[in-house]
């Protein structure tokens, strides 16, 4: 099945170049953050947090929380990790049924637990298994949505040439390469020359190629697309507390405060009954670079409800002067 006979509403890998998307981030790109990023930044594509293929295949209901979706025309790609081709086949089917616009396979996660179990970046050392997994996921989606891979340049040292060549043999619809090895974790700089090398291997194949790592603005994303000849870029950490990054709008402080509250409301919408503890980190990311920001971040570390957030914000807003 080739990309051209996909039947889903939008084959995101065919969006015109450059494709600029929100990278998958565990504990961050939940339904609430995706909705906020979509509304205020409008990236071309949104990725979920990673979810275990094996757990989804076995119907572990708890995991389906990460696969909630907001109504949108923006493609949302579900990212799966694991090591069992059969589980990828089953979970890819399920993800399609849930209405996702793509299945992305995580072959880059440096987490030790996932590595020890054979998933994430461990697959870089098992190219034959990685190919089987891609093929199983493609059978699972049966041409309805694209199957893509997100990975790193190597384990201890970059082996981009052999690794990307092996992936290309299995014909994923796109590969996103984070320009670091597993050993680097998030240290040092992403090596965009390695990304360019991967992109050159994908040229002339059915596979689109995206770069990832250390991109801090849309301008930089567009420049990198040209300089390193990639089809697109995924932005991760620079979107923390900054869903506007994908657009050209610079928010005022009041707009930031309003979106902080809205983001909390979305969190509650998707996670009914939960306190806002997981939102504290997001709120701290929104509150940067103004007089009193550090104090406000401290105060936000104690919030539990939307009302608490509103009170903290009200107490830090400069009083309106009577005329
Ligand atoms: C908190 C956090 C969680 C992440 N979770 C995932 C994940 O679930 N799946 C994945 O493929 N990459 C994950 N990543 C990696 C990012 O998608 C991205 O590759 C990396 O942060 C480099 O891009 P950046 O410099 O734009 O942040 C995560 C990164 C961070 C910081």
Each residue's pLDDT tens digit, 181-216: 999 999 999 999 999 999 999 999 999 999 999 999
Any idea what the CATH number is for the domain that residue 108 is in? Answer: 3.20.20.70
Q: Is 106 in the pocket of ligand 1 (CB under 6 A)?
A: yes
Residue 321 pLDDT exceeds 60: no
What element of type H or E holds 174?
A: strand 174-181
Mean per-residue pLDDT for 272-287? 95
Q: Are residues 234 and 296 in the same domain?
A: no
DSSP designation for 109: -
Q: Are residues 30 and 163 in the same domain?
A: yes
Q: Are residues 186 and 213 in the same domain?
A: yes
| pLDDT at res. 319 | 57
Q: Specify the number of domains making up the chain.
A: 2
Closest CA to 313 of 244, 261, 250: 261
Assess whether 109 carries a catalytic annotation: yes
Does any domain span residue 239? Answer: yes
Q: Are residues 173 and 59 in the same domain?
A: yes
Alpha-carbon gap, residue 1 to 244, rounded angstroms: 37
Does any domain span residue 74? Answer: yes
Residue with CA nearest ligand 1 atom 5: 25
Mean per-residue pLDDT for 217-230? 98
Considering only CA atoms, give the Rg of the chain: 20
User: Domain boundary at 231, 246, 261, which?
Assistant: 246
pLDDT digits (tens, 9 = 90+) for 106-147: 999 999 999 999 999 999 999 999 999 999 999 999 999 999
Q: Are residues 166 and 124 in the same domain?
A: yes
59: left (phi over 0), alpha (psi -120 to 50) or beta: left
| pLDDT at res. 116 | 96
| pLDDT at res. 192 | 98
Q: Is 175 in the pocket of ligand 1 (CB under 6 A)?
A: no
Q: Are residues 226 and 289 in the same domain?
A: no
Does any domain span residue 305? Answer: yes
Q: Is 25 in the pocket of ligand 1 (CB under 6 A)?
A: yes
Six token digits for residue 287: 């509150």
Model-level pTM greater than 0.85?
Answer: yes
pLDDT digits (tens, 9 = 90+) for 49-78: 999 999 999 999 888 989 999 999 999 999
Answer yes or no: are the C-beta atoms of 96 and 141 closer than 8 Å: yes
User: Domain boundary at 246, 274, 292, which?
Assistant: 246
Determine the structural domain holding residue 48 and report its residue range.
3-246
């Amino acid at each position: 099945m080739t990309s051209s006979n996909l039947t889903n509403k939008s084959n995101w890998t065919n969006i015109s170049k450059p494709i600029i998307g929100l990278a998958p981030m565990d504990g961050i790109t939940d339904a609430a953050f995706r909705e906020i990023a979509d509304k205020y930044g409008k990236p071309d594509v949104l990725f979920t947090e990673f979810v275990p293929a094996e757990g989804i295949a076995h119907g572990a209901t708890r995991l389906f929380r990460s696969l909630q979706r907001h109504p949108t025309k923006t493609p949302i790609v579900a990212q799966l990790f694991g090591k069992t081709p059969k589980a990828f086949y089953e979970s890819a089917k399920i993800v399609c049924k849930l209405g996702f616009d793509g299945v992305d396979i995580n072959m880059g996660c440096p987490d030790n637990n996932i590595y020890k179990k054979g998933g994430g970046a461990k697959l870089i050392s098992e190219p034959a298994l990685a190919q089987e997994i891609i093929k199983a996921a493609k059978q699972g989606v049966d041409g309805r949505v694209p199957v893509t891979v997100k990975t790193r340049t190597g384990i201890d040292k970059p082996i981009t040439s052999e690794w990307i060549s092996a992936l290309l043999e299995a014909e994923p619809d796109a590969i996103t390469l984070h320009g670091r090895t597993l050993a680097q974790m998030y240290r040092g700089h992403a090596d965009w020359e390695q990304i360019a090398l991967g992109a050159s291997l994908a040229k002339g194949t059915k596979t689109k190629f995206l770069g990832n790592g250390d991109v801090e603005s849309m301008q930089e994303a567009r420049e990198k697309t040209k300089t390193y000849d990639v089809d697109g870029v995924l932005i991760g950490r620079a979107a923390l507390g900054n869903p506007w990054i994908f657009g050209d709008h610079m928010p005022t402080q009041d707009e930031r405060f309003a979106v902080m509250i809205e983001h909390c409301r979305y969190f509650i919408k998707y996670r009914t009954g939960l306190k806002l503890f997981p939102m504290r980190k997001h709120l701290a990311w929104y509150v940067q670079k103004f007089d009193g920001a550090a104090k406000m971040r401290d105060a936000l570390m104690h919030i539990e409800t939307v009302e608490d957030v509103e009170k903290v914000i009200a107490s830090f807003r400069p009083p309106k002067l009577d005329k």
